[in-house]
Amino acid sequence: MTGADSFSVRSLRGTDRRLWHLGWLPVLAALLLTLIGWEAIGTTEPGYAQRQLLFFPIALAVAVVIGWIHPRWMDRWAVPFYIVALALLLFVLVPGVPEALVRQRKGARRWINLVVVDFQPSELAKIGMILVLAQWLRAREDITKWQGLIVPAALAVVPFVLILLEPDLGTAMTLVPTAAAMLLAAGCRRRHVVVAMLVGAVLAPAAYPFLRPHQRARVDALAAQIVGDTRYARDIGFQADRAMTLIGAGGVTGQGEAGAQRLLETNALPEEHNDMIFSSVACRWGLRGSILLLAACATLSLGALAVAASVRDRGGRLIAVGIAALLGTQVIVNIGMNIGVLPITGMTLPFVSYGGTSLVASWIMVGMLWSVASARRADTLRAAFQLQR
Amino acid sequence: MSRGGVGTFRSGTALVAWVMVACFAVLAARLVQLQVLDHGTHIARAQSREAARTRSETVLPRIRGRIVDRNGVVLADNADSYEIALAYEFMTGEWEEERVRILEREAAGGRAALARVPAVERAALHDRAVKQAFAESGAIVKSVADAASVSPEVIETAMDEIVASVSRRGDAYRARLAARGTQAKERLREETEAHAVAESLPAEATFAVNKMQDRFPDVLEVRSAPRRVYPERQARVVLSNDGLPGRLGHRAPVQVHLTDVGDLIVGSVRDQVQAVDLRRRPFDGDTIDWGGYREASDLIGTRGIERAWEDTLRGAWGMRERRKHADDTVTEQILRAPVDGDDVQLTIDIQLQARAQAILSPEYGLTLSQQEFHTPNADMPRGIELNAVVVVVDIETGEILAMASQPGPAAAANMSDAEERARSPWIDRSVDAVYAPGSILKPIMYVSAVSGGSATPDEVIACTGHFFPERKDSARCWIYRPKYGLATHGPLSPREALARSCNIYFYELADRMGPQATVQWLRDWGLGSPLHVGLEGWRERSEGEFVRAGEAGGTVPSERRIQEWQSSRDRFSGVILGIGQGELSWTPVQAASALATLARGGSRHDAHIVMGRPIEGNRSEGSLGLDSRAVTNALTGMRSAIEASYGTANNVTTAAGREEIFGLPGVRVWGKTGTAQAGVWRLDTDGDGGADREVKDADHAWFAALIGGEGDARPRYAIVAVVERAGSGGRAAGPIAAAMARELVNLGYLRGEGARSRAIRPHGDEPEADE
């Protein structure tokens, strides 16, 4: 290890950090999304909005600290971080854990009670997977072959399965495109990815019988909803039906704060401040608000990809691509389920949905992007070169 | 550059970027669809739900009108009964969700305070609220189950069935709206109101639920839902045998226990709305029909007056609005008070009706076959029950006082399916069975012929035994038979012709009138179309098309048929109309109504069964324009038929010799017998559903009697009796008419002079004691 690599404040920050770079794009987008989220949560739950406002400085502080740290440390801490995240995922699944620590909600064991806040290990696991995949892929040439994909696939599959067991199908599914995007960016052959996706597409219907009853019902409800069948609108399709109605009710200009508040309350949309926050946004601000939010999300994800394209360090690039894919997938899945093109899953809209863990985790990713983007080329090039065989 | 270099990276990243852009584009397109193209639909649905959440309407029940007899005796009433209804939102589980929210707010001290509760505490608070809401809903279901003395699972099953049924209809309704391109009304009314889950409960069973109702007024409702009861349906009638011929007249008084008094007239109700009701009068059609039908518990007439006067009896629903305010308080307002149904008063005297039914009962013996005074028929088994009818009409007003049909609904319980099909106990033969008129039509034919100018009032016509000189086996007089030595009546005045019931006299009149004029006169007397006495109910002729039906109109030859006769030089078919045979038929009520019209001298007051209400199609104005001399002669002839020793309605022969049919003191009777040819009767004596015996000459017996007090110049009541397959009218139906006249006397109908002494009491007074 060189002197620069020894643990010190100077080494943590690294030298030659830039101030002006593409990392600002996701930062600004995340700020805008956080603002929209805070205002949207306040539509029906002003108390939650205040709490979200308290979470924001914490999330921002964590992001600033992470952004300040040089990306090489992410590479170093990737494996321990990944192991800790997996350990926490296992922890919530262990049967004997007291309910005071892991409380089962709606049949799922996803949260650890930290007294002041509930913490979701899966949020850490997503970041952990990105870090460990980036670390593994940055120095590999054999990913052009099938056998080269075994280790990265295993690194993704372990958290995938653990999250699936919680159960949290939505979060688990976000790991798939994230890992696929990172493999593509790392140089994996496209045809391998295409073949894997085709196999997945073919096998997906075969997985239907293994889904839990409520998951199968949601798929059925989505299929019915797409063909205009309202059979499920009063039970399993209730949430999606209400969400679409409220989004549509927003029109172009929106219903305003009072109108949206009334409609959201009387239409009894569940999770309107959380997973279904997009419906609140669309109802209150209409198409203008929806498109603004969508544009901010696009800026965030594409900005992350731009960051990836702008740096030479292979690990940093892959981290940025992973974050872009992860955030993009979350946005697409969340909005998709709100507008009735994807089944309902427990998936938050990054930066916008209410929830401390989600907000902090999302800002951690922004911090990681800042860190990657702000590292100078020479610095990163050398690191990348050193690791190449 | 090696694989994994910048070029590959950029290419892989670009692919990821393009995929993302494509996904975002799809999302944006879908948003445009939802928020621009389909905005109208969605805002309507959202606002409709908003309205449903904050405002609900409850349809308020009303009480069905009563049916009372002419003296105010209640024949159909409503007994206290209750039902428990639960809000639809409670059944779907939405109430529990809402209740959880309310309990959370209450526990936290308000909406704002709740928002400040830390997440962990909030989760605990939520769990407690969920537990409490479930406990409350369980307690509500249990209280209903206890009241109904069933298990909670039964109530839950009932709730599930209601939700399944209502949501199915709701979905179909929304699909129809969507097909028409409108979504203005997203919820069916049934999806916002309470539905009965326990019915027919006594008041005491609902006491415990009342407390629960006070606690959860928006969930639980105890509603009055009266049952329909028929207090006069059972009667024990003791009949004397005074005036009955032969051995029957020497018995001890006969006690008859009836369980279906007035059943065929008053009818019955069902408590389930059927699709046909909704097609006829939907409550929620394009506009609200307050008297319409809803998918809810209700009483709907299925037979008799209950069906015929359904729209009068059912009343109009009311409407209550319930508003839920932001502070979770609830206010109610009556938007429209329910209107109870009108009472319907019948012209029937239920005591006389009970006696009429008792007279026709097998226990009394007059409707059993081959009594000693009946026409002997070797083919006919002795003692089998015959179908019969007796009708009593007030001549002055046309009001039907009694109208009995044997067998009645009570007999159906003891019948095999085959017997029930053969004897039709659910048919009211008074208005729904048609028979050839036979000779009771003769007075009407005579008066018509004179009034139409085809004969003079005192015209004498000679009976030659057979009408066609060249044919002795056709169009004969009843007396021109070998068993009477091929006798003839010789020259007859109209009075004698009626008293002796000579056929030739009336063949001659019919021949002179010609079939067209005959049919036209018969139509004027009420043949060929229903009288509309007030028993016709709505019947669906084709999908969505409803007509009044339920009374037979009988038949007269059509114009086309008459032309066929004329073109084939068929005189016979026209001639036999004169004696009430051929292509003619009428109901007993039509016969009684026509004879009452004759007794009135031709003024129209068609027979009817409902008092004080206009009945569409029932004629009560105008006159037939009868020749008064002819009317007098006809009545004189009918008087002679009773009084003269040669009169066909004078006597019957029993083992003891000749006995007068009407030997009643203080009563004046005008009568006419009739025997309507009915051909061979195929009998099922072993009840296996197949005919095993043939009875020849099993004709229907008619007797028409006009009754007055001793000093009356004109009759007051018309009685018509029919006994199917009993043979000679005078022998079989005459004693029934006589027994009926006796009961009129017993009930005081013939007291006083020329006026009905039995005053009609407005309904609402106390009914008389049972017999």
> CA nearest B498: which of B442, B448, B447?
B442
Q: How far apart (Å, rounded) are the C-alpha atoms in residues B717 and B708? A: 7
Taking only the tens place, the pLDDT of each residue in B663-719 is: 888 899 999 999 988 888 888 877 777 888 888 888 999 999 999 998 888 999 999
pLDDT above 70 for B496: yes
Q: Looking at the complex, does the CB of residue B378 fall below 8 Å from at least one CB of chain A?
A: no
Which chain A residue has its CA at the smallest distance from B130's CA?
A106
Domain B350-537+548-678+693-746 matching CATH 3.40.710.10: the answer reads yes
Q: What is the largest CA-CA distance in chain B?
A: 140
Q: Which residue has the tokens 């032309």?
A: B563
How many Å apart are CA B708 and CA B24, to the nearest integer? 98
The predicted-structure confidence for B561-597, as pLDDT tens digits, reads as follows 999 999 999 999 999 999 999 999 999 999 999 999 9
User: What 3-state class would DSSP assign to B332?
Assistant: strand
Cβ count near B561 (within 10 Å): 16
Q: Tell me if A8 is assigned to some domain.
A: no
Angle formed at CA B176 by CA B171 and CA B178, multiple of 5 degrees = 90
Whether B16 and A266 lie within 8 Å, measured CB to CB: no
Interface contact flag, A252 B6, Cβ < 8 Å: no
Number of structural domains in chain A = 1
**What is the DSSP annotation of B405-448?**
EES-HHHHTT--HHHHHHH-TTS-HHHH--B--GGGGHHHHHHH
Distance between B8 CA and the closest CA of chain A, angstroms:
6
Q: Is B17 on the interface with A (CB under 8 A)?
A: yes
Report the alpha-carbon distance of residue B118 to residue A287 in Å, rounded.
Answer: 33
> A139: nearest CA in chain B?
B4
Distance (Å, rounded) from C-alpha B621 to C-alpha B605?
7
Res A347: pLDDT? 84
> What are the 10-residue block averages of pLDDT along chain A, 389 residues in total?
55 72 90 94 84 90 90 85 92 79 71 74 90 86 77 90 84 89 85 80 74 70 67 68 91 91 82 87 95 95 90 87 93 92 84 88 92 69 35
Q: Verify whether the Cβ–Cβ distance A187 to B12 is below 8 Å.
A: yes
User: What is residue A100's predicted lDDT score, i.e. its pLDDT?
Assistant: 72
Q: Is the ipTM of this complex over 0.90?
A: no
Which residues does chain A have within 8 Å of residue B2's beta carbon, measured at their own beta carbons?
A: 141
**Is B42 at the interface with chain A, CB within 8 A?**
yes
| Chain B CA closest to residue A336 | B27
Cβ of A187 within 8 Å of Cβ of B6? The answer is no
Q: Where are the alpha helices (DSSP H) in B185-274?
A: 207-215, 263-266
**Is B167 in the A-facing interface, judged by CB distances under 8 Å?**
yes
A80 touches chain B (CB under 8 A): no
Q: Could you give the CA distance from residue B440 to residue B733 in angstroms, rounded to a whole number?
A: 12
Q: What is the pLDDT of residue B611?
A: 94
Residue A144 lies in a domain: yes
Residue B218 structure tokens = 């928006």
pLDDT of residue B120: 67
Q: Which residues contact B234 (CB under 8 A, 6 or more apart)?
A: B257, B258, B259, B261
A372 within a domain of the structure (yes/no): yes
Q: Say what the pLDDT of residue B213 is.
A: 84
Q: Is B165 part of the contact surface with chain A (CB cutoff 8 Å)?
A: no
| Residue B470, C-beta contacts closer than 8 angstroms, at least 6 positions apart | none
So what's the pLDDT on residue A15? 67
Rounded CA-CA distance B736/B730 in Å is 10
Q: Using alpha carbons only, what angle is made at residue A22 by residues A20 and A25, rounded to the nearest 5 degrees?
A: 110
Contact A47 B10 (CB under 8 A): no
Instruction: Domain of residue A132: give its range.
Output: 22-387
B171 at the A interface (CB within 8 A)?
yes
For residue A14, being part of any structural domain is answered with no
What are B64-104's pLDDT values in tens digits? 999 999 999 999 999 988 889 999 889 988 888 888 888 88
Residue A239, chain B, CB below 8 Å: the answer is no
pLDDT for B764 equals 41
Which of the residues B27, B36, B114 would you substitute to probe the A interface, choosing the one with the greatest number of A C-beta atoms within 10 Å?
A: B27
Q: Read off the pLDDT of each residue in B497-502 and give the average, rounded to a whole number.
A: 94
Per-residue model confidence as pLDDT tens digits over B171-190: 777 777 767 666 555 677 78
Residue of chain B with shortest Cα separation from A226? B30
Q: Closest Cα of chain A to B52: distance in Å?
A: 8
| More reliable by pLDDT, A344 or B630 | B630
Mutation for B interface: A53, A266, A311, most B CBs within 10 A: A266
Residue B253 has pLDDT above 60, yes or no: yes
In a domain, residue A2? The reply is no
Q: Could you give the CA distance from residue A274 to residue A352 in angstroms, rounded to a whole number?
A: 8
Q: Is A11 a member of any domain?
A: no
Whether residue A123 lies inside any domain: the answer is: yes
Contact call for residues B564 and B638 (beta carbons, < 8 A): no
In the A/B pair of chains, how many CB contacts fall below 8 A? 169
Whole-number Å distance between alpha carbons of B229 and B63:
13
Q: Which long-range contacts (CB under 8 A, 24 or more apart) does A209-216 make?
A: A211/A169, A212/A167, A215/A169, A215/A343
Which chain A residues are within 8 Å of B117, Cβ to Cβ?
A: 47
Cα first-last separation, chain B:
117
Contact by Cβ (8 Å): A71, A372: yes
Q: For A287, which of B24, B32, B171 is closest by C-beta distance?
A: B32
Does residue A90 belong to the interface with chain B, where contact is any CB pair within 8 Å?
no
Has residue A13 been placed in a domain?
no
Interatomic CA distance for residues B534 and A3, integer angstroms: 113
Q: What is the pLDDT of residue B305?
A: 97
Asked if the model's pLDDT at residue B765 lies above 50, the reply is no
Q: Around Cβ B764, how many Cβ atoms within 10 Å? A: 11
> By mean pLDDT, which of A101-115, B15-29, B264-278, B686-700 is the weakest?
A101-115
Residue B175: the pLDDT is 73
pLDDT (average), residues B752-758: 49
Closest by alpha carbon to B615, among B401, B344, B341?
B344
